[in-house]
Structure 1
């Protein structure tokens, strides 16, 4: 019988350890290594017609740091609803745990996703659900399937044809784990379908079984997975499972992800730093300038927002999430072409201050790579999720040539709010050199934008990208910028500062 193949977190540690100093690990540090048989050949979401990104988050100042994204596909509403229910159930449990544990000042809950398969017959969505409480960071993995033939949204267990197939899979997985020593406990693998909530296939049709952190171990080991040979898996599969297996083997090979910091920099040597195509057209030491910034996109509302900005002759800075950027690179290209600036908001919107330096670098590197692949320019700005930064985050940003950008005006648009209220907050806080925080993933924010532009322009403001606020002084990698009008901002000194103070008095 073909031998099952296993991987765990220890296999990844060796890869990370090959770096030195602040060198970032491979973007695969959270996923299998390329030679790993449990590697899933994820589908490029930009190739899936009708795919949009749904997002659920909380206020930037909320004690609980929550960021959830999952896909919706136009012709699969039942899949969207099942994904929504799945993440809502996990969020509900997290909220209970966070309420019962007051020791952590900023408990975090984060969900990102990838497409395990996508064909005209089946779609597979792999969710990575992480939470940080007093016990530290842990992740669960679950893969939801949609059978387009019978229009059913299904748990992974539905890939198996019956209870006897589940029992046989359990036996095969236990056998595959039995020679792994004390790292994993094969006896923890039973016949409960919930144990097998993340099933998918590698490009060879082997059935990949993933487990949650600490599900089979005494302490979190990282990703633990087993690959069941295709010949052993096929007799166990339902009709949906067979369709999923075929879809995975037909998935086009995707370009390899970039590796270390050095590899990314080497690939970037032929690309210019990202800047507005209209940079230099406004002197913000003379003109009254403010910078509108939009976080978390691109999303379903981003195209409409770009239409509004174009109509009003305004430009903005978009801090995009890397996983969203891969789904809609055409929106990033439109931003660049229309004079806006595209900047880094990490790969999956994690709280960087709660992560080790290797993970910080991974989040920033993967965000850089996703954006660079879309616009063929290298981002020079990063906004840390929740505005949370510290010397370690700044140090990693410096190594990647990124200035850290926060804000001094918050439109507070994450909560369901009347567009007029959002506009009032944005405009009332505006001063020359202000950086205004908003989110292009919310319809109410986009609805508020025409009024924001009308009122700001009526006050004599010019809407520019963030680097234009600082003029020839520029922005330094690793330094934090809240506002060009702030006396303690490293980019607002000397003549620029005096000019801004004079504007503010006029």
Structure 2
């Protein structure tokens, strides 16, 4: 993948990637390239038993904004290792080429994922976005794992060798002819790393994607070519043939499934709300961001044993992958909020993309638990006027914090617990994360110490009692709403 030229950007849908494609009045006969064939229908991760999201982040107080997410799949050790290595490489490269800063805006790295296939062959599409002081830019890579051979590979592994890769490159160049002189077709070649994001559409056509600004001006947006199945099938490797068949079969199953119309869902609420009067009792609201993570189930065990409630702000892509953990949160009296779809800094986005981030995440939570979240925590606590306006339109209250456990900075669990207890006060909103072992290990100490001092652990809305919370307002503690922006 070439280094991103940080100009322009594209928008992707939760279940498909569509673009302007290669629509033309008279497309080349060797490559049918209208807009629709470049659509990739992604697999619902909740249908893949044992799949778990994994995350690398650096916390709200770090000098860079970093959120990297990738899946871990059962029985796919080599793919898991490849994805982990890729995530670590992305983070290392970002550190090597940016400087941590105390002022805003901070450099930002965001990596999210989708499943391009999940049958005998698994395809994982990683999308990297970076902000280095100019504009946002995106790049994609798609990795493949063949359960028959146990081999993990990049997109070139779908093709039967170098000659096949050269032929696909030629077909793609032909498909780009109608885009005019702005597209540099000479950049399309069989050279290593040039065609690193390839997947199949529902018809078995090979969709070849390019990074922002990789082969033409950023103003062109997403560029992708669909090479027809009839042309590409003879060029596929055994892994590629199995991947193509897997995607086709998945598409047939989806087409046969009965359509279920959307129904309205109630607002999210704790099933135990109202059992504590925070006007008479010292209350604290523990909040956990960025999950679900590998230790979320254990955290829920700890909270249940202590009779404590918490507010969770999971990332939408993780919700889609592990809805059963969200249902457990609901059933045990916790409250589930909205932490956007993939943890982008909302303050840098136009209102349409802010709405998309909140809408997709809210839909994922509603699908998982049958309740729609009414609270949102902005990633990194960055809130702009546009964020507040969109939240107001969507009837969402913004939740900040006034006690930062700093659990993302590592350290001993006892130190995290002591730091949190020291800052706690009636009405405090405590920022924590359910991704790390040390953070979860600190929770028993926090619960024991504060319960010993007469504190009750409640969900955020319970701090405000009958006064409630207003949409579009920023709440940083139970003392009352704050107008300060951004959240710190």
TM-score, normalised to structure 1, is: 0.86
Mapped to 2, the partners of 1:137 and 1:251 lie a distance apart of: 33
- 2:265 is the alignment partner of 1:271: yes
Conserved in 1, the CA contact under 8 Å of 2:63 and 2:102? no
CA deviation vs aligned residue, 1:82-125 (integer Å, no higher than 9, x gap): 11111222222222332399997401000000111011x21110
| Equivalent position SS for 2:70 | strand
Q: Name the counterpart of 1:74.
A: 74
Cα distance, 1:450 vs structure 2 = 1.4
CA deviation vs aligned residue, 1:200-258 (integer Å, no higher than 9, x gap): 10111111101100001122533211111111111111111111111111115559xxx
Conserved in 2, the CA contact under 8 Å of 1:38 and 1:225? yes
Q: Name the counterpart of 1:284.
A: 278
Cα distance, 1:32 vs structure 2 = 4.6
Conserved in 2, the CA contact under 8 Å of 1:42 and 1:114? yes
| Equivalent position SS for 2:232 | helix
Cα distance, 1:63 vs structure 2 = 1.7
- 2:153 is the alignment partner of 1:159: no
Quote the RMSD (CA, aligned, Å).
2.5
Conserved in 1, the CA contact under 8 Å of 2:9 and 2:218? no
Mapped to 2, the partners of 1:32 and 1:131 lie a distance apart of: 20
| Equivalent position SS for 2:98 | helix
Q: Name the counterpart of 1:111.
A: 111
Cα distance, 1:182 vs structure 2 = 4.0
Q: Name the counterpart of 1:496.
A: none
Conserved in 1, the CA contact under 8 Å of 2:316 and 2:364? yes
Taking the TM superposition and a 5 Å limit, the aligned residue runs for 1:317-328 are 317-328=311-322
Residue 300 (structure 1) aligned to one of 284, 294, 304: 294
Mapped to 1, the partners of 2:8 and 2:458 lie a distance apart of: 47
Change (3 A) 1:139 1:78: same
Conserved in 1, the CA contact under 8 Å of 2:46 and 2:322? yes
Task: Count how many residue pairs are aligned between Structure 1 and Structure 2.
Answer: 459
Conserved in 2, the CA contact under 8 Å of 1:295 and 1:440? yes
Taking the TM superposition and a 5 Å limit, the aligned residue runs for 1:45-444 are 45-99=45-99, 105-119=105-119, 121-252=120-251, 267=262, 270-444=264-438
Mapped to 2, the partners of 1:254 and 1:111 lie a distance apart of: 27
Mapped to 1, the partners of 2:15 and 2:76 lie a distance apart of: 29
- 2:36 is the alignment partner of 1:36: yes
Conserved in 2, the CA contact under 8 Å of 1:314 and 1:462? yes
| Runs of 5+ consecutive residues of structure 1 not aligned to the other structure | 1-8, 14-24, 256-265, 491-506
Mapped to 2, the partners of 1:357 and 1:293 lie a distance apart of: 26
Mapped to 1, the partners of 2:432 and 2:100 lie a distance apart of: 32
CA deviation vs aligned residue, 1:167-206 (integer Å, no higher than 9, x gap): 1001100111100124422222122131110111011111
- 2:446 is the alignment partner of 1:452: yes
CA deviation vs aligned residue, 1:438-488 (integer Å, no higher than 9, x gap): 0011111111111111111111111100000000000000000000135x6
| Equivalent position SS for 1:431 | coil
Q: Which moved more, 1:167-176 or 1:449-458?
A: 449-458
Change (3 A) 1:107 1:168: same
Residue 481 (structure 1) aligned to one of 458, 475, 481: 475
Conserved in 1, the CA contact under 8 Å of 2:20 and 2:223? no
Which structure 1 residue ranges, 4+ long, deviate > 6 Å from structure 2? 9-13, 100-104
CA deviation vs aligned residue, 1:325-370 (integer Å, no higher than 9, x gap): 0001111111111100000000000001111111111111111111
